[in-house]
Amino acid sequence: MHIKLPTPVRNFLVATSFWKEYYFILREFKHFRQIAILAAVFTLSAAVLEGFGVGFILAVLHSVLNPNAKPIQTGVGWFDVWILAVNASASERLFRSSALVLLTTLLRLGLTYLGRLYVFTAQYTLGYRLSLRVFEQLQALSLSFFTKTRAGNLVNSLTSEVNQITMAFDVLATFFTRGSTLIAYTLSMFMLSWQLMLITAMLFGLLSVGITSLLGQIREASFATTKARRWYVSVALEFINGIRTVQAFAAQDFERKRFQDASLQLLQASTKSRAAQALVEPVSEGIATFILFGILFLAFAVLIPNGQLQPAGLLTFLFVLLRLMPIRRQLDGARAKLSSFQGSFSNVKELLRTDNKTYLRNGKLQFSKLQRAIEFVSVDFGYDKKHTVLHNIKLTINRGEMTALVGSSGAGKTTLADLIPRFYDPTQGQIFIDGIDLQEYDIKSLRRKLAVVSQDTFIFNASVRDNIAYALEEVDEEAVWEAARLANALEFIQKLPEGFDTQLGERGVRLSGGQRQRLAIARALLRDPDILILDEATSALDSVSERLIQESLEKLSQGRTVIAIAHRLSTIVRADKVVVLEQGRILEQGTYQELLQQRGNLWKYHQMQHEVSQLS
Ligand SMILES: Nc1ncnc2c1ncn2[C@@H]1O[C@H](COP(=O)(O)OP(=O)(O)OP(=O)(O)O)[C@@H](O)[C@H]1O
């Protein structure tokens, strides 16, 4: 079922700020329309039955207190005769209306239960859909977004803030049910005395102005709360992730202070928000009492003496008004709560915005194999607009060859290599693969044919097998074993308590730096990549580990196009091309021997490493 609103109505709705504010959430409902409609139908039916129930109770009381009086009638013939049994005896009427009270109560309870059930289901489905949307957004964003954003902020958005928004849905449901009851009551009051209703409406209008200014305060406090929560999660996450450094630097006191500050900020912000919220209901009730007196005054001083209102009418009016007051209070409370969720709304909305974020343009061409070469044509790149990290890079990486990148720390080697899997796109110039711009290729197909073995390989909370076969479906057991063997990882894996089934990562066995690297090599081998990027470890490994890794890297490199970032010159002597980078510029390129003969920068590095190795 698809409801298409007429264009003027749509334009009107889009123009109202409510719609604009909540559109990004409300549009999620189209994914679970049935659940939302059932929630609305059940809750509304329960509200209608509540009204009927009150009527039937009135009929019971009437039958008990005035058995001989004319029975209460609605004026609807069939309803009065068949349901209220107005023509029957007093005792039968009493029995009939009592049975109706019981029946409507049971039915109402059943409907209320179903209504709650569907409201909750809709609420949690909304949470589920929203978190999926946030996750999709994170998947689509360029890596540069993550380097600029604290992990804690993102974790907070995905958990607390999305959760707050789902709670807001419950409040919206309150608006819906209580709001409809309020309308029904208002209509009946209007019918009883329009003069009294007019003055009530005016006084309620004044009340609304008072409450609105409070809502402004709550909204502001909610932004502060979201900010404090973001900071709190970031501090906690950094403490947990950096626990080794915290302990190594005996920084417990420093971290405790940071955490205490963040917690205190959160405490203060939440208290401020709740304090403003708590004011809403008493203010609402206080003003409502004045309204009551105003009505009494108007009735007794003007309307009753003038014969415009009967005392019975006034009593009924007051009876309905008294029932309406708590609903009104609840609605004000709900408005206050909704304001307190504003911070969360804007947090998630900001994260989902697409106009202020960088996305990688995806191409359509499927990449299958490198045929000729990767070419960098006058490539510039900067992580931000102010600082250019790579300048005018002109480089050809031929198929099947090994190209080594050399240079001092911070020269831009990793950055240059990161442009090939499109972790980032050049800010100027182009990169071509076999003469076609890299951006024309489908990113997934390109990355499937590419493997990066880097210094900081991430080990997932999973078994050794699943870590090697990460994200691959239906992997042959033997292939995993063979990859591990070629990566020289088999020996240490077999020594682990449960071999390939041993759990790794945070809650499992921790691997050494060398073991982690060999696992990364096995992971890359299993993917059988066409292009390989090797980011050599800067940390020193013992000579046995180094030899094992070197051996496995050589096996991995065979028959592939390799871009190697090297810190030890010994590993690149046999490279087909050596590229020397300094401060983001290519200074020299050629074979190792050619560059040595030039007596330029590579020669200097060569001399330096030679001296160091002689010293040690
Ligand atoms: N995510 C990032 N955001 C901003 N600047 C960055 C980022 N990554 C690296 N840089 C900067 O870019 C420059 C090049 O860094 P890069 O990591 O490419 O150097 P490198 O030659 O690989 O160094 P190393 O040998 O130490 O790994 C450095 O000045 C670094 O500070």
**Nearest atom within ligand 1 for CA of residue 567:** 25
Q: Ligand 1: which of 142, 384, 415, 580 to mutate, judged by most atoms within 8 Å of the beta carbon?
A: 415
In this structure, which residue's CA is closest to atom 3 in ligand 1? 383
Give the pLDDT band (50/70/90) at residue 415. Answer: very high
In this structure, which residue's CA is closest to atom 26 in ligand 1? 409
Q: For 450-528, CATH number?
A: 3.40.50.300
Position 65 scores a pLDDT of 67
Separation of 183 CA from ligand 1 center, angstroms? Answer: 63
- Please, where are the H alpha helices in 242-251? 243-248
What is the C-alpha end-to-end distance of the chain, expressed in Å?
A: 77
Separation of 573 CA from ligand 1 center, angstroms? Answer: 24
Residue 309 to residues 183, 201, 289, 303: CA-CA distances in angstroms? Answer: 22, 18, 21, 6
**Nearest atom within ligand 1 for CA of residue 584:** 14
Q: Ligand 1: which of 386, 391, 414 to mutate, judged by most atoms within 8 Å of the beta carbon?
A: 414
- With vertex at residue 213, the alpha carbon angle to CA 211 and CA 216, rounded to the nearest 5 degrees, is 115
For the question of an ipTM over 0.90, the answer is yes
When comparing pLDDT for 143 and 4, which is higher?
Answer: 143
Give the pLDDT band (50/70/90) at residue 616. Answer: low
In this structure, which residue's CA is closest to atom 16 in ligand 1? 412
579-590 residue pLDDT tens:
999 999 999 999
Q: Annotate 472-541 with DSSP letters as a single string.
A: -SS--HHHHHHHHHHTT-HHHHHHSTTGGG-BBSTTSBPPPHHHHHHHHHHHHHHH--SEEEEE---S--
Parse the chain into domains and list their residue ranges. 1-140, 150-359, 366-448+531-536+560-616, 450-528
In this structure, which residue's CA is closest to atom 27 in ligand 1? 409
If DSSP codes are grouped into helix, strand and coil, which group holds residue 359? strand
Residue type at 474? E
Question: Which residues does a 6 A CB cutoff place in the pocket of ligand 1?
Answer: 147, 383, 389, 407, 409-415
Give the CA count within 13 Å in the CB-facing half-sphere of 127.
18
**Nearest atom within ligand 1 for CA of residue 147:** 1
Cα–Cα nearest to 584, from 436, 298, 352, 382: 382
Residue type at 123? Q
Same fold, 366-448+531-536+560-616 and 450-528: yes
Q: Ligand 1: which of 141, 391, 413 to mutate, judged by most atoms within 8 Å of the beta carbon?
A: 413
Cα–Cα nearest to 177, from 130, 105, 111, 124: 111
77-136 residue pLDDT tens:
677 777 777 777 777 877 887 888 889 889 989 998 998 898 889 888 888 999 999 999
Residue 328 to residues 15, 53, 211, 284, 405: CA-CA distances in angstroms? Answer: 27, 21, 12, 8, 71
Dmax over CA atoms of the chain, in Å, equals 122
Separation of 172 CA from ligand 1 center, angstroms? Answer: 48
How far is Cα 126 from Cα 31, in angstroms, rounded to an integer? 9
When comparing pLDDT for 276 and 493, which is higher?
Answer: 493
Separation of 6 CA from ligand 1 center, angstroms? Answer: 54
Q: Which two tokens stand for residue 129?
A: 């859909």
Mean pLDDT of the chain: 83
- Model confidence at 525: pLDDT above 80: yes
Q: Ligand 1: which of 144, 148, 386, 389 to mutate, judged by most atoms within 8 Å of the beta carbon?
A: 389
> Which class is 366-448+531-536+560-616 in CATH?
alpha beta
Residue type at 344? S
Cα–Cα nearest to 125, from 259, 31, 212: 31
Separation of 454 CA from ligand 1 center, angstroms? Answer: 14
Position 244 scores a pLDDT of 80
Residue type at 356? N
Separation of 564 CA from ligand 1 center, angstroms? Answer: 16
- With vertex at residue 165, the alpha carbon angle to CA 132 and CA 137, rounded to the nearest 5 degrees, is 30
Separation of 410 CA from ligand 1 center, angstroms? Answer: 5
In this structure, which residue's CA is closest to atom 8 in ligand 1? 415
356-369 residue pLDDT tens:
888 888 899 999 99
Q: For 150-359, CATH number?
A: 1.20.1560.10
In this structure, which residue's CA is closest to atom 30 in ligand 1? 410
